[in-house]
């Protein structure tokens, strides 16, 4: 059974570490946003507006910035005040349970910070990760399990005005159960 998990994980570009979760290669192609290179290099810097991707429409209070990326030169910055949201609406609902894997850091150390991952499902919104841990000047890995049937996913951030979150290397991976 473990060998079968290893083969499935190898096929999707990641590896399974024996029941403690998924570890991913940071160069793995990003399924969540449909990016060719695993990060935000494919898009011009600036406001995202309604950004069309292979897997849906990315919209919300965000911009693609150059500089403090985890890999490559660009990252997604969620502009903050209270409850600012970035949303990806999938072109089709997820057929199976999936793991949303991404790297995040705080934009500023000032004031309170809260980042939440919400799955949109036919039965309503489901908070799948509440208060994602993030620090200043260091990307931390975050994961959230999205239920089958998810039609979209939102990152909701609250911070001081001018604050926010930096997001990079976002992936949507199959859930591997121990």
Dihedral, CA atoms, 164, 134, 68, 72, nearest 10 degrees? -120
Query: What whole-number distance in Å separates Cα of residue 136 and Cα of residue 145?
Result: 25
171 vs 144, residue with greater confidence:
144
Write the CATH number for 35: 2.60.120.260
Structural domain harbouring 21: 2-174
Band (pLDDT 50/70/90 cuts) for residue 7 is very low
Angle at 19 between CA 16 and CA 21, to 5 degrees: 60
* pLDDT tens figures, 37-64: 457 888 888 888 888 776 688 899 888 9
- The residue-averaged pLDDT of 88-95 equals 92
**What is the phi/psi pair of residue 108, to 5°?**
-140, 150
* pLDDT tens figures, 108-138: 888 889 999 999 999 999 999 998 888 888 9
How do 152-158 and 114-121 pair as beta strands? antiparallel
Count of domains observed in the chain: 1
pTM here?
0.76
Query: What whole-number distance in Å separates Cα of residue 103 and Cα of residue 89?
Result: 20
With a cut of 50, say whether residue 1 has pLDDT above it.
no
Query: What whole-number distance in Å separates Cα of residue 137 and Cα of residue 68?
Result: 8
Query: What whole-number distance in Å separates Cα of residue 56 and Cα of residue 54?
Result: 6
Give the 3-state secondary structure of residue 174.
strand
Band (pLDDT 50/70/90 cuts) for residue 30 is very low
Query: What whole-number distance in Å separates Cα of residue 70 and Cα of residue 26?
Result: 9
With a cut of 90, say whether residue 147 has pLDDT above it.
yes
Contact 118/87 with Cβ under 8 angstroms? no
């Amino acid at each position: 059974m473990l060998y079968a998990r290893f083969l499935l994980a190898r096929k999707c570009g990641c590896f399974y570490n024996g029941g403690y979760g998924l570890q991913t290669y940071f160069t793995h192609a990003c399924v969540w946003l449909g990016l060719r290179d695993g990060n935000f290099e494919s898009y011009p810097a600036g406001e995202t507006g309604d950004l069309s991707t292979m897997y849906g429409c990315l919209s919300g209070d965000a911009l693609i910035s150059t500089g403090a990326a985890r890999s490559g030169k660009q990252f997604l910055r969620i502009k903050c005040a209270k409850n600012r949201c970035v949303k990806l609406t999938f072109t089709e609902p997820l057929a199976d349970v999936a793991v949303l894997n991404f790297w995040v850091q705080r934009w500023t150390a000032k004031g309170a910070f809260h980042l939440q991952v919400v799955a949109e499902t036919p039965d309503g919104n489901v908070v799948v990760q509440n208060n994602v841990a993030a620090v200043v000047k260091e990307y931390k890995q975050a994961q959230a399990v999205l239920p089958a049937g998810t039609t979209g996913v939102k990152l909701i951030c609250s911070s001081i005005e001018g604050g926010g979150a930096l997001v990079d290397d976002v992936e949507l991976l199959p859930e591997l159960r121990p």
